[in-house]
Amino acid sequence: MGDLRKLTVSFVVPGPCGVAIRDRLKHLTPQDEMVLRAVGDHQGALASRDLKARCADGLEHSADTWASRKRELTKVSSSRIAGAITKATHDQWALARRCQAAHIQKLAAGIKMLRHRLSLPVGEPGTRRAAGGYRSKNEWFRKSRRLAALEDRHDAAVADWQAGQVRVVRGGRRLLNTRHHLAQAQLTEDQWRDRWEAERWFIAADGESGKRFGNETIRVTPDGEVSIKLPAPLAHLANTRHGRYTLTATVAFAHRGAEWGDRITANRAVAYRIHLEVERGRWYLTASWQRPVVQTIPLETARARGMIGVDTNADHFAAYRLDRHGNPIGDPHRFGFDLSGTTPHRDAQIRHALTRLINWAKCVGVAAIGIEDLDFTTEKTREKHGRR
């Protein structure tokens, strides 16, 4: 009998550390759109230039190089905009660095599995815990060639990692590659260009505690009035004092609007981002802020009133109400979802199923939901299970 899988200790997942809400900017005038496009294009160019400089620094980055880049950006924008751009640049570089590390780890796992299976006799069956040999000499040969390819990719990725070199595309690599497949994407060159430019704009500002309404660069009043501090080269477009431009449109956050209102009334930090959804021709404003870290309650306390046990499946959540000892109570519940279609549709399906699950948990009076913490890092690699 093979070794059984070892279960890790159960733990309580911490709550969300941030909140983001969004509302549409309706009834913008042509002048409003022109100003937003000019600001986005100007600051997007600055963000691209700063990202290029950060990638060139690589592992030589320091507080001095950061300050130097910020000073250069301040000359053509403002100190707050320069701070927002450099912070976004560092976040993007760090994300690319983490993705690079995950890519190296995935390649190493694939190489390890290929070497193991190639070392076995052809046709040797596998077990529940370990893959067997390949089914034929032809497959063995093809996998040996794949091993050489993965080793070459791994060596190149490790060399980039050691040199601090990352590859980042402002606007997204997928959209960039779409430029070469316009017919397949059913886009004209002008339509693609509009999307590409909109994705590379930068109209965002970090919040500042103690400042009026929590943000000096993009300010939203309790009445929903939106104004933007224009960068120095675009100051002539201002329609209010102190180089600010006030939009005609107002916002009213339906979701968590009261929480947002309490924050700006107390001048607590709120970050804003304005972006254009080109496909629908709509402008949106997203507000976000951080929540203080809350100490999680002990597991025994969480399940004192019972809990909901959830099993995730390909098309539904299977949920059972359990007492404090883990015994099922009543009949199981099924919360289905359809993961076909576009990514936004799949996300909406998952959100809807989770909402129904949480509402059911509230109705039955439990305070905890238990779910499996599955780790497929090494168990579900392509080299072990193929393309299935």
β-pairing, 328-336 with 225-229? unpaired
Of the two residues 13 and 265, the one the predictor is more confident about is: 265
pLDDT over 90, % of the chain: 72
Residue 252 is predicted with a pLDDT of 92
Least confident of 18-32, 232-246, 281-295, 362-376: 362-376
pLDDT-derived band at 66 (thresholds 50, 70, 90) equals very high
Residue 316 lies in a domain: yes
Phi/psi of residue 312, nearest 5 degrees: -85, 135
**Where does the pLDDT of residue 310 fall: very low under 50, low under 70, confident under 90, or very high at 90 and above?**
very high
Does 94 fall in a domain? Answer: no
Q: Give the CATH number, domain containing residue 323.
A: 3.10.20
Give me the mean pLDDT over the 247-259 stretch.
93
Residue-range definition of the domain harbouring residue 317: 299-371
The string of DSSP codes covering 108-124 is HHHHHHHHHHHHSPTT-
Q: Could you tell me if residue 338 is inside a domain?
A: yes
The mean-pLDDT minimum among 127-141, 273-287, 292-306, 361-375 falls in 292-306
Residue 71's pLDDT band, with cuts at 50, 70 and 90, is very high
Is the confidence at residue 38, as pLDDT, over 60? yes
For the residues 232-254, what does the mean pLDDT come to? 93
Average pLDDT of the residues of the chain: 90
pLDDT tens-digit map of 275-294: 999 999 999 999 999 988 77
**pLDDT score of 375:** 64
Mean pLDDT of 322-326: 85
Identify whether 278 is part of a domain: no
Mean per-residue pLDDT for 87-102?
95
Please report the pLDDT score of residue 297 as a whole number. Answer: 78
CA distances, 263 to each of 60, 211, 260, 362 (Å): 39, 11, 5, 28
**Which pLDDT does position 125 carry in this prediction?**
87
Confidence band, pLDDT 50/70/90 cuts, at residue 112: very high
Answer yes or no: is 84 within a domain: no
Q: Classify residue 290: in a domain, yes or no.
A: no
The full length of the chain comes to: 388
- The confidence band for 1, taking pLDDT boundaries of 50, 70 and 90, is very low
Domain membership of residue 332 (yes or no) is yes
pLDDT of 340 over the 70 cut: yes
Which region among 185-189, 376-380, 383-387 has the lowest average model confidence (pLDDT)? 376-380
Indicate the number of domains in the chain.
Answer: 1
Given a contact cutoff of 8 angstroms between Cβ atoms, the answer to whether 232 and 77 are in contact is yes
Give the residue-averaged pLDDT of 126-130.
79
In a domain, 350, yes or no: yes
Per DSSP, the residues of 257-312 read: HHHHHHHHHTT---EEEEEEETTTTEEEEEEEEEPPP-PPPPHHHHTTT-EEEEEE
List, as own/partner pairs, every contact residues 217-223 make where C-beta atoms lie below 8 angstroms and the sequence separation is at least 24, other chains included.
Answer: 217/78, 217/80, 217/81, 217/84, 217/272, 218/272, 218/274, 219/244, 220/251, 220/264, 220/270, 220/272, 220/285, 220/287, 221/264, 222/261, 222/264, 222/265, 223/250
